[in-house]
Structure 1
Amino acid sequence: MKVRLCLSGLISELKLAVPWGHIAAKAWGTLKGSPVLCLHGWLDNANSFDTLIPLLPQDLHYVAMDFGGHGLSSHYSPGVPYYFQNFVNEIRRVVAALKWNRFSIMGHSFGGAVAGMFSCTFPEMVDKLILLDVSPFALDFHVRSWAFMHAEVENLLTYKRRAIEHMLQVEASQKPLHVVSPEEMLQRFLENHSHVSEKCGELLLQRGTTKVPTGLVLNRDRRMTLPELSFDFVSEEWFVHFIRKLQAHVLLVKAIHGYFNVRRENDANKEPFLYMTRILKSTLKERFQFVEVPGTHYVHMNEPQLVAGIISSFLQSKPRLPNQL
């Protein structure tokens, strides 16, 4: 683990060794504080938390990692796909390297879904789970009709096929890296990320690009495109079963103008999200807290002051033991 202390505040850069290279991360706070792992969204990076963490309690220890193929982390080896379970595995490797046995997780968007799966797979390790504009799982919500269920299965098979074919196409293309000017890079980024402010777009591109003599190139692995190609969708039955495994206290912060559906084309349908919150409340009871805030999908970056107080109170609260509930 390589650590570089920066002069601009209490921030460290880390490189954690993994079999395919390294996972990059950055840290805030004090090493003696309770640990909080921060997970960014799809195609974002650890800078996703730069505006929020300075507003949170500084007696805690925050580590924001770049998922493999994102930010400053190594790309997966040739031929290895970016499957959902791989990202769950990355968390386990990172906390093992950091020697964390019990910690909290804060995840935005795709990072929140990965955090949800990890928290159910290793429930004894996660003390608190903070979900920023995301469900803990990508829910395949359907009515009880065979025709609809058949269509959902075909959707999942289509996503899996597209993911494999896309990876093969990118590996076979051998196209050179696309170099553009900083101005064009930012313009394209903002066109594809309508919920991100210009200031926050610049922040994400700081860690998400590399300077070359003629401009900038994106750091992310070109084998990754839409997040739905790497999500593991779960049924209602699986969702209920997984939630019952959770031992963590859960805070879900929902942006009023954020996203409700991974597939985006059906984003107006809020029924799956409402179903999910009902299950979380009925299953976790006092261990579940739901808060809506004004803003878009990137409210934690664009307007961190709207969520900082909520998250701070949750992190500083002392959870009651199960027999006290």
Structure 2
Amino acid sequence: MSSNIANGHHLKEEQLPPGVIVHEIEIPVPWGHVAGRWWGPRDKQPIIAIHGWQDNAGTWDNLVPLLPVTTSMLCIDLPGHGLSTHNPKGMLYYIFWDGIILLRRIVKHFGWSKISLMGHSLGGALSFMYAASFPEDVDRIICIDIASPAVRDPKTTCKQTGWSIDKVLEYEELPEDKIPCYEYEAMIDIVFDAYKGSISRENCKILMKRGMSPTPAHMKKQGYHFKRDPRLKAAGLAMMSIDTALEYASKLKCKVLNIRAIPGQKWERLDYYLDVIEKMKETTEVRYIEVEGTHHVQLDSPETIAPLIEEFLEEY
């Protein structure tokens, strides 16, 4: 069992419900490792769970213990997030596409053939993209508050390209002494404000167990800093048009559970979300369910969606 930051001063063992087990694991990749939390039995193939943009595997910490203890689930930190190695200097994050390659690496590492995926936000988009790219290799996907990668008008994408590239280069050269450090409670305040009500302050602490770490001694600063790679902020190069999203949607063959939170994410074009759902229905079974909750419904009100997920996993 892993030790985690419990408050600003000391580490303590996780308190888990009876029968619930979780192991911290590392999966080797060419530039370092991908960290993960493997919940439940290690002798059965897990569902791979993928968090949202700038979050980490802690996003599932409240949900997984509500599922049957026999559920095996591997919750990963995407590169540059949580405890995973950052992309090498000189490389950018092309977030939707990077994620599909990463999932393929993980599947090949373990030698799995058919897989099941669960994702929130960016993670749900990756589940969708992987299932569309390898339709014969996926049994089922669960997508939470997203249907496909962020759909943008090509004019917007075109306009943002120059800015995104300059931002990547700016963050790449960020000197260590410019990395902001804060006291623990101040750090949690910053995170809470940034999520604009999508996550409670208490749940920000859960996410920050993997999202922040004590400032290294050589930096001669007190407090904590964010672990995630600042280059992740310049992710505007990864968007797609609705035509592209619908083309991918037409390739899915697996069972789909799509849970949309209301009010959830404020979509630029909700019709695009629903168009993707309708397109998937032409080729596969899609269960689309709306629930009350914030965009981070799996972290903030997991009891709302746990029964839906359990039912879907039992049925298929």
* Aligned AA (2:259): V
Are 1:186 and 1:201, in contact at CA under 8 Å, matched by a contact in 2? Answer: yes
* Aligned AA (2:293): G
Are 1:26 and 1:64, in contact at CA under 8 Å, matched by a contact in 2? Answer: yes
Change in 2 beyond 3 A, CA 1:38/1:29: same
Are 1:260 and 1:273, in contact at CA under 8 Å, matched by a contact in 2? Answer: no
SS at match of 1:124: helix
Q: Aligned-pair distance for 1:226?
A: 5.4
Map of 2:162 onto structure 1 = 161
Are 1:23 and 1:66, in contact at CA under 8 Å, matched by a contact in 2? Answer: yes
Aligned partner (choices 187, 190, 204) of residue 189 of structure 2:
187
Change in 2 beyond 3 A, CA 1:273/1:202: same
Q: Aligned-pair distance for 1:260?
A: 4.5
Distance 1:56 1:33 in 2: 16
Map of 2:240 onto structure 1 = 233
Q: Aligned-pair distance for 1:231?
A: 2.9
Map of 2:255 onto structure 1 = 249
Change in 2 beyond 3 A, CA 1:112/1:53: same
Aligned-residue CA RMSD (Å): 2.0
Q: Structure 1-normalised TM-score?
A: 0.85
SS at match of 1:22: strand
SS at match of 2:186: helix
SS at match of 2:214: strand
Map of 1:18 onto structure 2 = 29
* Aligned AA (1:137): P
Mark the runs of 5 or more structure 2 residues left unpaired by the alignment: 4-12
SS at match of 2:165: helix
Change in 2 beyond 3 A, CA 1:190/1:21: same
* Aligned AA (1:54): P
Map of 1:270 onto structure 2 = 270
1:127-148 Cα shifts (integer Å, max 9, x gaps): 11000001123234xxxxxxxx
Map of 2:8 onto structure 1 = none
SS at match of 2:233: coil
Distance 1:230 1:40 in 2: 20
Q: Aligned-pair distance for 1:74?
A: 0.4
Change in 2 beyond 3 A, CA 1:119/1:66: same
Alignment partner of 1:103 is 2:115: yes
Distance 1:211 1:21 in 2: 21
Q: Structure 2-normalised TM-score?
A: 0.87
Change in 2 beyond 3 A, CA 1:153/1:232: closer
Count of matched residue positions in the alignment of Structure 1 and Structure 2 = 295
Change in 2 beyond 3 A, CA 1:210/1:308: same
Q: Aligned-pair distance for 1:62?
A: 0.3
1:269-288 Cα shifts (integer Å, max 9, x gaps): 4222232222233342xx10
* Aligned AA (1:296): T
Distance 1:270 1:196 in 2: 22
Map of 1:172 onto structure 2 = 173
1:204-234 Cα shifts (integer Å, max 9, x gaps): 111101113611111000112155x153313
SS at match of 1:167: helix
Mark the runs of 5 or more structure 1 residues left unpaired by the alignment: 141-151, 319-325
Aligned partner (choices 80, 103, 108) of residue 69 of structure 1:
80
Map of 1:215 onto structure 2 = 223
Moved more, 153-162 or 213-222: 153-162
SS at match of 1:165: helix
1:48-77 Cα shifts (integer Å, max 9, x gaps): 000001111322310000000000000110
Aligned partner (choices 309, 312, 322) of residue 310 of structure 2:
312
Q: Aligned-pair distance for 1:92?
A: 1.1
Distance 1:247 1:136 in 2: 15
1:139-158 Cα shifts (integer Å, max 9, x gaps): 34xxxxxxxxxxx3332123
SS at match of 1:17: strand
SS at match of 2:97: helix
Distance 2:234 2:124 in 1: 16
Identity %: 30
Alignment partner of 1:205 is 2:213: no
1:279-318 Cα shifts (integer Å, max 9, x gaps): 233342xx10000111110111111000000000101113
Change in 2 beyond 3 A, CA 1:37/1:158: same
Are 1:33 and 1:60, in contact at CA under 8 Å, matched by a contact in 2? Answer: no
Name segments (4+ residues, structure 1) moved above 6 Å.
3-7
Map of 1:322 onto structure 2 = none
Distance 1:59 1:230 in 2: 40
Matches within 5 A, 1:49-60: 49-60=60-71
